[in-house]
Chains A and B, each alone.
Chain A
């Protein structure tokens, strides 16, 4: 028997809120105004007041709001649903405890401009987190101000710039080259530019490491301000020459910035400060499990050596006479990178993560994350090309080389994974591997789910041979199919309007 549907179920075709709006519906109630009312024109002269009566802003009931967002939410994949193997994104479990403690009233209702002596709890919490991040990275100077990874990168390279300017004065102008490996995140060169640096790209060797000959050659050309290095690199391999790399940069008069995106491979096992790194940023929304939230908020603290500490942003939380205060008098500081003190709510969650894991748990998480990645690598290296031989750390890189011969590419494999119940891996990054598939299971996945993932990938490899169209046309199980992104970009429709559909379709 087949079921004929008259219309699509509302959970699958929830309209835009603007299309749902009905004049006169309300979703709120304010208390009665308890002061004598000032006449409108005395309150705000007419010339300053809105005249559009907020036309177009929706009118909906509270029930409408709940159903609207609940229905839309079901169209999302999430960590709580299953393995989210995005390489370099570290999609690990977001603990409910962390959500709970971040919502304690004494944190939520605290105004950042409240007097410091009445804000001691917030300041102490920040100080404790600074101390813990210093211990974890081996870099004692810490700022929690940057709001995300790229913001932390910008902070880090601006610190390098400030150090060089102070050390060399006018001569610093001759030192404006920031070296960035070809495997780096795009944010690295973009951040370097904000600090006034020119980017030179260092090649990787065929086995996935920084090309030392090329590094020395570039250092020899002079003008080196520094290096931005991700370690483990974006192909999931530890830079075995890390000390030599740092020495080379230091000998050339530059400083080493480490992109901490991949710290989930190192916490409790090795510390950037012990490798010769001068400054690093951390992504609390990766390594320290603050939720990614569909694209933020993040938190991107910077940790640096004692020598670089004076250059950290203003203000900084310091301890004094048993209390805590904000230090504003920092003459060498690069300045402020964000209003107030950073994404405090993320700091609460990160500290709760550290407390819950403790000394032993932090290392345990790192071991489990690396073991999980290694396990996947072990079972998939026959079915998919693994471009680098070196031991995988917390993520493994594969490529579509074998499948491309059948016309099946990385994107297709990623989309087909959706039909098997997994979020796609990171696709086409890093750029140095053609058809890269970067897989990071994190520690939050158990063996059965890893096995299921391995089986899914093997099955897709088999489908590529037996029925490539099945993979090329994936996904088959989602509410919508692959979207025409080229047309969307050619004539972008970026906001709702009553005639939006016709505009978009005429593109």
Chain B
């Protein structure tokens, strides 16, 4: 086995040195009746090239991976600068552990600190943590945090939050005192329905709004923040398309108390749904109720600046069942990828790429709306995703597009919302050329 340095001979010598006759004796302390008396039924050892062939065979069966795609819905196709994947493959980053020993992990700690700062800058918040598993679990953790902060039980969630995020939140909160209630959407605008907001009351811990929402519509966060705050509730803003931060007013500026986001758009491959990276930010006053790790500034006795993991008394390894979360390992290396992306694109690039996304989506929406029988379902402004209403069931259209034209035209909404059989969600990013958009339009027409 080439990953094990010691040869058989060396291992025999070592066994001898510690007074054992065979490797089997290493397991003397395991009762015989639980020892496995046979070989595992897995493959024989494969050579390196055999593993590559095996994996390429799997990958080739992912037929969708090579098609022109307009799929979004929480996972987006964006270009990742070459430096991102190159730098995260440095041994010192990807083969190091969680930075519990700051003297030998300053590289990791410093990039976490930069990640936290960038997340604050983009979300308009005061503090951000070192990452969560993804956007969906970050949202669930935000619900639990709102419950701790307000000591209230009810969370009002817009139906236009990503449906899978909502399912995750239901799982996380099913055994506590919390109740989740959903608020419908306005069928004209695609935004949260005003009448539903009347449910905000003195028992409400948080109002939860995704913007751009699952339909791609941008919500009026300022107004929603005011309504939540009047009732003493928090506003939690969810963002699944992080590139939108480059154009849209930040949730913090709009009055959000907690912002959670999926950072996959920042240079992270789609990779069939993971690993991605959750961003979690909030107001300074709530920092001690936050889940997850935090890196902070510290000095050594000579006054040298460094970084350490701090405020650990919130965490499971100290507080056990009283901790703010059970999270331990998070998404360190993916947070690094997102950090490198944000810094490489920088102040100008983040705005420019957002602008390209919005322009291309606007162009696509305009062209599709010109087609006979097709329309844009909602009137609210959108960023890079929008819902198309087709003259016939969306599932059939999308299936035809894929099989005949090799285009993944969007996500049918019928799987998520009742009465929306003819609707599908189209996402256009900077990676879609005009030619691809025109091809989509022609194929639909």
Contact = CB atoms under 8 A, between A and B. Distances in A.
Quick one: which of B57, B275, B363 has the most chain A CB within 10 A? Answer: B275
A489 B310 contact: yes
In order of increasing CB-CB distance, the 8 nearest A-B pairs are A340-B273, A106-B59, A293-B333, A358-B45, A295-B332, A121-B61, A446-B5, A196-B175
Contact of A44 (B172, B294, B381): B381
B311 A121 contact: no
B117 A18 contact: yes
Given A151-B133, A243-B33, A365-B1, A18 B114 contact: yes
B154 to A, nearest CB: 18
Nearest to B290: A494
Nearest to A493: B297
Contacts of B363: 35-36, 38
A295 B346 contact: no
Given A115-B64, A340-B272, 9 more contacts: A44-B247, A72-B111, A76-B105, A270-B30, A345-B271, A358-B46, A359-B43, A371-B23, A480-B306
B34 A355 contact: no
Interface stretch (B7-15, B181-189, B386-394): B7-15
B370 interface: no
Contacts of A110: 62, 64-65, 270-272
Given A108-B269, A187-B328, A346-B275, A368 B18 contact: no
B3 A68 contact: no
Quick one: which of A45, A124, A297 has the most chain B CB within 10 A? Answer: A297
Contact of B321 (A26, A193, A500): A193
Nearest to A351: B55
A483 B1 contact: no
24 contacts: A30-B430, A35-B360, A51-B249, A66-B83, A74-B92, A78-B93, A91-B95, A107-B55, A109-B269, A113-B74, A120-B61, A122-B58, A136-B42, A194-B172, A295-B98, A296-B332, A340-B272, A345-B271, A356-B48, A378-B17, A415-B101, A480-B106, A488-B296, A495-B116
Contact of A111 (B43, B106, B122, B408): B408
A113 B75 contact: yes
A483 to B, nearest CB: 4
A235 to B, nearest CB: 12
B17 A375 contact: yes
Nearest to B129: A494
A124 B91 contact: no
Quick one: which of A190, A344, A446 has the most chain B CB within 10 A? Answer: A190
B31 interface: yes
A321 to B, nearest CB: 15
A424 B101 contact: yes
Given A44-B358, A52-B253, A77-B104, A293 B93 contact: yes
Contacts of B332: 292-297
A2 to B, nearest CB: 19
Interface string B79-123: 001010101011111111111011111111011111011101110
Interface residues on A, range: 35 or more
A283 B417 CA distance: 36
A17 B300 contact: no
A299 B334 CA distance: 13
Interface string A368-382: 101110110010000
Quick one: which of B101, B342, B433 has the most chain A CB within 10 A? Answer: B101
B90 A73 contact: yes
Interface residues of B, number: 199
B94 A106 contact: no
Interface in A26-55: 26-28, 30-31, 33-38, 42-45, 47-55
Given A135-B40, A494-B116, A121 B249 contact: no
Contact of B330 (A35, A161, A295): A295
Interface stretch (A93-101, A400-408, A458-466): A93-101
B362 A79 contact: no
B250 A52 contact: yes
Given A296-B331, A352-B51, A485 B91 contact: no
A186 interface: yes
Given A106-B62, A114-B408, A293-B333, A86 B430 contact: no
A166 B369 CA distance: 50
Contacts of A188: 320
Given A78-B91, A424-B101, A294 B274 contact: no
Contacts of A81: 91-92
B305 interface: yes
A196 B245 CA distance: 37
A340 B301 contact: no
A240 B35 CA distance: 12
B119 to A, nearest CB: 9
B134 interface: yes
Given A294-B97, A356-B3, A483-B306, A154 B326 contact: yes
Contacts of A452: none
Contacts of A296: 98, 131, 133, 275, 329-334
B60 interface: yes
Interface string A141-165: 0000001111101100010010000
Contact of B71 (A75, A114, A485): A114
Nearest to B47: A356
Interface stretch (B195-203, B228-236, B347-355): B347-355
Quick one: which of A27, A188, A449 has the most chain B CB within 10 A? Answer: A27
Contacts of B422: none
Interface stretch (A56-64, A214-222, A248-256): A56-64
Contact of A493 (B131, B296, B334, B353): B296
A199 interface: yes
Given A293-B93, A294-B93, A492 B310 contact: yes
B402 interface: yes
A167 interface: no
B396 interface: no
A192 B176 CA distance: 12
Contacts of B33: 243
B361 to A, nearest CB: 9
Contacts of B110: 14, 16, 72, 75
A190 B325 contact: yes
A203 interface: no
A294 B30 contact: no
Given A33-B359, A48-B381, A191 B62 contact: no
Given A91-B97, A359-B42, A496 B117 contact: yes
A107 B40 contact: no
A306 interface: no
Quick one: which of A17, A158, A348, A481 has the most chain B CB within 10 A? Answer: A17
A242 B33 CA distance: 11
Interface string A9-24: 0000010111001000
B97 A295 contact: yes
A57 B62 contact: no
A59 B65 contact: no
Contact of B95 (A94, A113, A161): A94
B92 A78 contact: yes
B345 A28 contact: yes
B127 A494 contact: yes
A7 B259 CA distance: 42
A486 to B, nearest CB: 9
A489 B92 CA distance: 27
A359 B39 contact: yes
Nearest to A138: B36
A359 B297 contact: no
B95 A78 contact: yes
Given A72-B110, A109-B269, A484 B300 contact: yes
Nearest to B88: A293
A91 B96 CA distance: 8
A270 B34 CA distance: 6
A37 B3 contact: no
B23 A367 contact: yes
B356 interface: yes
B272 A192 contact: no
